[in-house]
């Protein structure tokens, strides 16, 4: 029988949650790397037993961990992520130049085809790649070499490259997103990059329609339709039908269009999920109710999914990497909260139940569907 | 034989219990001890000092013989008692909750 493995990164360690295909009873294994911040862990699509994890702390810096047995055991991998050449400067919050400085790995994206190839999105924003199972890392310097890079400014969480989307139909096409620069696309495996922010409007920057400077929170794609992208921006939920060349707003009837995660149903490329929160200054769900919003029409028309979720006295947030879907039928949807709950729905969001309620604050959730 | 006491998180990372004992060739300095430590436990590279600049991480301190040695030059000799193994070199994470 097929199974599901949910990989949860928290402020104080990693947890591996497993179930069979019914997704009714769960084993909770962890914490791995207890006491460390685990911004992200993710499995290789080419070898589900190969996992990568970003482990960091303010005291002891960045560690990369690798597992070859689905998270039962881990080995430290290479953690030398050094910018190519002279790093130069970006802009600080006050608009003054500030040298690029490594802080942490926000996101690890394994290759779709090679378990030993993995991409790392880091703060201060840059993209790295390893082709030897994370033993050594090389920056793809064309991104930070883009002419706009000296003008990139951090969002509240830092100047972070937090989203990496690999296009399964166009080898060499990579989308990344940076807060607060925006979306960039490479069509040559990361050598050169172009901003993909036309149609975005951000009132928080001097020119609301500038080519770069937008605080994109996350982008998502369905494998069967890689030309269509969905975006949760600082404010606004957006959609592109031309691989990022242009964007249009699909916030529709959402109660607020501020939020962090966005994801796509595994089998219905026009079914998408977001978790709106109240505002940029109040990072918790509106009306004290935890509601996932689902659109079955590719945006604009949204329904609140509440069955099994707390509908009073709730003040959690769901961070940008903390939602994922499995590929079973019906599609499973998962998300983790800053309050330490991980919720699962085995029926595309119609009904939810907590897998676990009292973890440390959840930073990331990834799902592997196992044979 | 040099004795080094690591903070709990780094002991876990290095898979060691208690003190680490190291052989250090030549003059016993911070740099020599950290070089020997990282050679024996490569998973600690980058966690105590930057891998490129060799600068001590800001929230890491070095204590020995009831002295704060953090700001001593990396090539300065460590106290005799540390160099002979009578006293350990303490690698300490700055105090904080959380």
For residues A28-36, give the mean pLDDT.
97
pLDDT at A141: 97
Residue A125, pLDDT > 60, answer yes
Q: Residue B85: give its domain's CATH number.
A: 3.10.20.30
Listed residue (A283, A277, A272) closest to A250, CA to CA:
A272
Interchain contact, B9 vs A36, CB within 8 Å: yes
pLDDT at A352: 98
Question: Does B11 fall in a domain?
Answer: yes
Which residue has tokens 């096409």?
A173
pLDDT at A2: 85
Taking every pair of C-alpha atoms in chain A, what is the biggest distance, in angstroms? Answer: 57
Rounded to a whole number of angstroms, the distance from the CA of A38 to the nearest CA of chain B is: 14
pLDDT at B97: 58
Q: Does A73 touch chain B (CB under 8 A)?
A: no
**How many domains, chain A?**
1
**Beta carbons of A151 and A213 less than 8 angstroms apart:** yes
For residues B35-50, give the mean pLDDT.
97
Percent of chain A whose pLDDT exceeds 70: 100
Question: Does B75 fall in a domain?
Answer: yes
Q: What backbone torsions phi and psi does residue B80 show, to the nearest 5 degrees? A: -55, -40
Q: Report the DSSP pairing between strands A182-186 and A138-139.
A: unpaired
pLDDT at A87: 87
Give A1's pLDDT tier (boundaries 50, 70, 90): low
Q: Cα–Cα distance between A311 and A334 in angstroms, integer?
A: 18
Q: Cα–Cα distance between A225 and A124 in angstroms, integer?
A: 31
Token pair recorded at residue A96: 């003054």
Question: Does A160 fall in a domain?
Answer: yes
Partner residue facing A61 (CB), from B42, B52, B57: B57
**How many domains, chain B?**
1
Q: Residue A279: give its domain's CATH number.
A: 2.130.10.10
pLDDT at A95: 94
Q: What backbone torsions phi and psi does residue A138 show, to the nearest 5 degrees? A: -130, 135
User: What is the domain extent for residue A289?
Assistant: 34-324
Q: What does the DSSP assignment read for A208-243?
A: TT-SS---EEEEEE-TT-TT-EEEEESB-EEEESST
Question: Does B89 fall in a domain?
Answer: yes
Give rounded-to-5 percent helix, strand, coil for chain B: 25, 25, 50
Number of Cβ within 10 Å of residue A313's Cβ equals 7
Q: Does A35 touch chain B (CB under 8 A)?
A: yes
Give B1's pLDDT tier (boundaries 50, 70, 90): very high
- Does the complex come out with an ipTM higher than 0.90? yes
Residue B15, pLDDT > 60, answer yes
Question: Does A103 fall in a domain?
Answer: yes
Give B95's pLDDT tier (boundaries 50, 70, 90): confident
Question: Does B98 fall in a domain?
Answer: no
Q: Cα–Cα distance between A114 and A313 in angstroms, integer?
A: 45
Residue A3, pLDDT > 70, answer yes
Select the residue from A61, A66, A86, A101 to test the B interface by mutation, using most B Cβ atoms within 10 A.
A61
The length of chain B is: 98
N- to C-terminal Cα separation, chain B: 35
Listed residue (A20, A66, A62, A63) closest to A42, CA to CA:
A66
Q: For residue range A85-106, what is the model confidence (pLDDT) as tens digits?
A: 988 999 999 999 999 999 999 9
Q: Kindly list the strands in the beta sheet with A303-305, ordered across the sheet, starting from the edge strand earlier in the chain.
A: A259-264, A272-276, A292-295, A303-305
Q: Cα–Cα distance between B87 and B89 in angstroms, integer?
A: 7
Give A211's pLDDT tier (boundaries 50, 70, 90): very high
**Beta carbons of B23 and B36 less than 8 angstroms apart:** yes
Residue B41, pLDDT > 80, answer yes
Which residue did the predictor score with more confidence, A139 or A371?
A139
Q: What backbone torsions phi and psi does residue B72 show, to the nearest 5 degrees? A: -70, 150
Rounded to a whole number of angstroms, the distance from the CA of A76 to the nearest CA of chain B is: 6
Question: Does A349 fall in a domain?
Answer: no
pLDDT at A143: 98
Give rounded-to-5 percent helix, strand, coil for chain A: 0, 40, 55
Judged by DSSP in three states, B96 sits in coil
Q: For residue range A325-366, what is the model confidence (pLDDT) as tens digits?
A: 999 999 999 999 999 999 999 999 999 999 999 999 999 999
Question: Does A194 fall in a domain?
Answer: yes
**Beta carbons of A10 and A36 less than 8 angstroms apart:** no
Q: For residue range A285-301, what is the model confidence (pLDDT) as tens digits?
A: 999 999 999 999 999 99
For residues A251-263, give the mean pLDDT.
98
For residues A67-77, give the mean pLDDT.
97
User: What is the domain extent for residue B77?
Assistant: 2-93
Question: Does A358 fall in a domain?
Answer: no
**What's the angle, vertex CA A282, arms to CA A276 and CA A283, rounded to 5?**
50
A328: left (phi over 0), alpha (psi -120 to 50) or beta: beta
A–B CB contacts, 8 A cutoff, strictly below: 43
Question: Does A3 fall in a domain?
Answer: no
Residue A365 Cα to chain centre, angstroms: 9
Give A57's pLDDT tier (boundaries 50, 70, 90): very high
Q: Cα–Cα distance between A276 and A262 in angstroms, integer?
A: 10
What sign has the CA pseudo-torsion A165, A197, A180, A287? negative
- In B, what residues contact A, Cβ < 8 A? 7-10, 12-13, 42-43, 45-48, 51-52, 57, 59-60, 93-94
Residues of B in contact with A76 (CB under 8 A): 13, 42-43
Average pLDDT along chain A = 97
Question: Does A350 fall in a domain?
Answer: no
């Amino acid at each position: 029988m097929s199974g599901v493995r949910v990989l949860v990164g928290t402020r104080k360690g990693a947890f591996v949650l497993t179930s069979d295909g019914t997704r009714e009873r769960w084993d909770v294994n962890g914490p791995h790397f207890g006491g460390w911040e685990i911004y992200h862990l993710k499995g290789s699509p080419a070898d589900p037993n190969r996992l990568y994890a970003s482990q960091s702390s303010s005291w002891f810096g960045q560690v990369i961990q690798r597992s070859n047995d689905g998270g039962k055991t881990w080995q430290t991998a290479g953690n030398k992520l050094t910018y190519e050449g002279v790093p130069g400067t970006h802009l600080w919050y006050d608009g003054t130049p500030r040298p690029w400085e490594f802080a942490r790995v926000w996101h690890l994206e394994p290759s779709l085809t090679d378990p030993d190839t993995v991409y790392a999105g880091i703060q201060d924003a840059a993209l790295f790649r390893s082709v030897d199972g994370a033993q050594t890392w090389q920056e793809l310097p064309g991104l930070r070499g883009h002419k706009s890079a000296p003008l990139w400014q951090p969002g509240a969480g830092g100047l972070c490259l937090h989203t990496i989307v690999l296009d399964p139909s166009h080898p060499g096409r990579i989308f990344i997103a940076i807060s607060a620069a925006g979306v960039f696309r490479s069509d040559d495996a990361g050598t050169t990059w172009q901003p993909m922010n036309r149609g975005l409007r951000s009132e928080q920057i001097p020119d609301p329609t500038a080519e770069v400077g937008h605080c994109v929170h996350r982008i998502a794609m369905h494998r069967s339709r890689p030309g269509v992208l969905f975006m949760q921006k600082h404010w606004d939920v957006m959609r592109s039908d031309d691989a990022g060349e242009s964007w249009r707003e699909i916030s529709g009837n959402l109660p607020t269009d501020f939020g962090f995660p966005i994801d796509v149903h595994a089998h219905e490329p026009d079914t998408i999920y977001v978790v709106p929160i109240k505002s940029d200054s109040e990072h918790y769900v509106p009306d004290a109710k935890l509601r996932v919003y689902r659109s079955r029409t590719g945006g604009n028309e949204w329904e609140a999914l509440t069955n099994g979720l707390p509908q009073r006295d709730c003040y959690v947030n769901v961070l940008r990497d903390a939602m994922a879907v499995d590929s079973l039928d019906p599609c499973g949807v998962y998300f983790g909260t800053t309050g330490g709950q991980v919720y699962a729905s085995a029926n595309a969001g119609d009904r939810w139940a907590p897998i676990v309620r009292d973890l440390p604050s959840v930073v990331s959730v990834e799902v592997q569907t196992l044979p | 034989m040099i004795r080094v006491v690591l903070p709990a998180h780094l002991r876990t990372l290095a898979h060691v219990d208690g003190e680490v004992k190291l052989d250090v060739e030549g003059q016993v300095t911070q740099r020599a001890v950290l070089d020997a430590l990282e050679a024996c436990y490569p998973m600690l590279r980058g966690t105590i000092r930057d891998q490129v600049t060799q600068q001590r991480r800001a929230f890491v301190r070095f204590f020995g013989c009831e002295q704060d040695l953090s700001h001593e030059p990396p090539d300065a000799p460590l106290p005799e008692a540390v160099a002979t193994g009578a006293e350990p070199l303490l690698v300490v994470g700055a105090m904080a909750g959380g």
